[in-house]
Amino acid sequence: MSKITAAITGIGGYVPEYILTNQELEKIVDTTDEWIMTRTGIKERHILKGEGLGTSDLGAPAVLNLCKKRGIDPMEIDMLICATTTPDHLFPATANIICDKIGAKNAFGYDLSAACSGFLYALVTGSKFIESGQYKKVVVVGADKMSSIVDYSDRTTCVLFGDGAGAVLLEPNTEGYGVLDSILRSDGSGRIYLHQKAGGSVKPPTHKTIDDKEHFVFQDGQPVFKFAVTRMADVSAEIMERNHLTGNDVAWLVPHQANKRIIDATARRMEVGPEKVMLNIQKYGNTTSGTIPLCLWDYESQLKKGDNLILAAFGGGFTWGSVWLKWAY
Ligand code: UT7
């Protein structure tokens, strides 16, 4: 019997309506459009507004968009993994809430926490359930409502993040398409540079943690930048080398969208020209788990069957990784 691989057979996405521009941020904090554009490449980001709305309200419409485009009923989904750093609640899992909201009553699922590498980790995890032969339709969602943990008085972080979600459907393939190789890495000692100080079991919420603004993203940008540039490029080069791929063989680099300068450095190291790099940071900012599937969503019409894609991410943890996949449709 031929080997089963997990192929992406559909994509959905969702970004909320409200757009927060650099010009609007100029009125809130001491920043400029010029600084944000030259240091990050971000022009605007989408923000989920409205009382009582959370990450599942981004993930659910992304999965429904996927189901509609592929013409499948949510009842056909066997499993749903939601990569997120901003779950609706500490428990239950946002994956369960998404399944409830879309009527995926036959699916089991859970959340996966790996910050900005969450989608890659979840994609590889979901692929294994397909490769085992036990499951036929696995949905992997990357969704984050970053605005719920961003301090809009801190100019060093509030310009970076946005809200959004993307989802892919994985199905078995026996013709050699889909996820063909992956490298996933982590180094917990990097947590000091990028984390949320309070709200977990080490420091449960108190009036003091709120007064001290410890429920927001803390980032020491420069060390994160240095690690991101080298690690993301390292794993992208490594996955190419061990599969004998050159820059010419790669149709698309699909990078996590945290900073255009990190993306450019990764592409240079892979010897992949800018015309083959998926980029949407200018309109969404850093949506954490959402960036890679939102790139696939935006570029879907340009993808061709058999294209070699290298997905690459770096994020809090530290976590990082790369995936080689062959586009299936
Ligand atoms: O996705 C998860 C992983 N995260 C990342 O990959 C992010 C990695 N880090 C970065 O992308 C960059 O470090 C940042 C975009 C966050 C910051 O860019 P930078 O070039 O490293 O700037 P910096 O932190 O070294 O700050 C340079 C200057 C500082 O002023 P002084 O001390 O030189 O006077 C900052 O206070 O820029 C100042 N600054 C700003 N100025 C205007 C910081 N944020 C802003 C701002 N507007 N929004």
Q: Which atom of ligand 1 is nearest to the CA of 158?
A: 48
Q: pLDDT by residue (tens digit) across 250-297?
A: 999 999 999 999 999 999 999 999 999 999 999 999 999 999 999 999
Q: How confident is the model at residue 84 (pLDDT cuts 50, 70, 90)?
A: very high
Compute the distance from residue 256 Cα to the ligand 1 centre, in Å: 18
Q: To the nearest 5 percent, what fractions of the chain are helix, strand and coil?
A: 40, 25, 35
**Separation of alpha carbons 226 and 223, rounded Å:** 5
**Distance in angstroms (rounded) separating the CA atoms of residues 293 and 270:** 21
222 lines ligand 1 (CB under 6 A): yes
| Spatial distance between the Cα atoms of 209 and 129, rounded to a whole number of angstroms | 40
Q: Which domains does the chain have, with CATH numbers?
A: 5-176 (3.40.47.10), 180-326 (3.40.47.10)
Asked whether the predicted pLDDT for residue 74 surpasses 80, the reply is: yes
Task: Verify whether residue 256 is a known catalytic residue.
Answer: yes
Say whether 116 is catalytic: yes
- The residue whose C-alpha atom lies closest to atom 38 belonging to ligand 1 is 156
For residue 148, the model assigns a pLDDT of 98
Question: Measured between alpha carbons, how far is 111 from 88 in angstroms, rounded to an integer?
Answer: 11
Render pLDDT for 7-66 as a digit per residue (tens, 0 to 9). Answer: 999 999 999 999 999 999 999 999 999 999 999 999 999 999 999 999 999 999 999 999
pLDDT band at 2, cuts 50/70/90? confident
Give the pLDDT band (50/70/90) at residue 196: very high
Tell the residue number behind the tokens 């919420």, with chain if given: 205
pLDDT at 1: 60
Is 280 marked active-site? Answer: no
pTM for the predicted model, two decimal places: 0.97
pLDDT of res. 298:
98
Q: Exactly one of 22, 173, 256, 295 is catalytic; which is it?
A: 256
Per residue in 113-124, pLDDT tens? 999 999 999 999
Per-residue pLDDT tens over the stretch 153-187: 999 999 999 999 999 999 999 999 999 999 999 99
- Measured in Å, residue 47 CA sits from the centre of ligand 1 at 21
CB 77 within 8 A of CB 106: yes
What pLDDT score does 104 carry?
A: 98
Nearest to 309 by CA among 322, 318, 319: 322
Q: Which is it for strands 138-145 and 163-173: parallel, antiparallel or unpaired? A: antiparallel
Confidence at residue 294, expressed as pLDDT on a 0 to 100 scale? 98
pLDDT of 283 reads 98
Write the residue with the smallest CA distance to atom 43 of ligand 1: 156
Q: What is the DSSP letter of 198?
A: S
Both tokens assigned to 74 = 């949510």
* Helix (H) or strand (E) run with residue 46 in it: strand 44-47
- Token pair for residue 306? 């058999």
Secondary structure (DSSP) of 179-197: EEEEEEEE-GGGGGGEEE-
Considering the candidates 116, 158, 173, 259, report the single residue annotated as catalytic.
Answer: 116
Tokens representing residue 283 in the block: 């309109």
Distance 173 CA to ligand 1 centre (A): 43
Percent of the chain with pLDDT over 90: 99
Residues 6+ apart with CB under 8 A from 66: 10, 11, 12, 139, 167, 168, 169
At 189 the pLDDT is 97
Beta strands 108-112 and 163-173: pairing type?
unpaired
Among residues 24, 252, 44, which one has the least CA distance to residue 152?
Answer: 24
Question: How high does pLDDT run on average in the chain?
Answer: 97
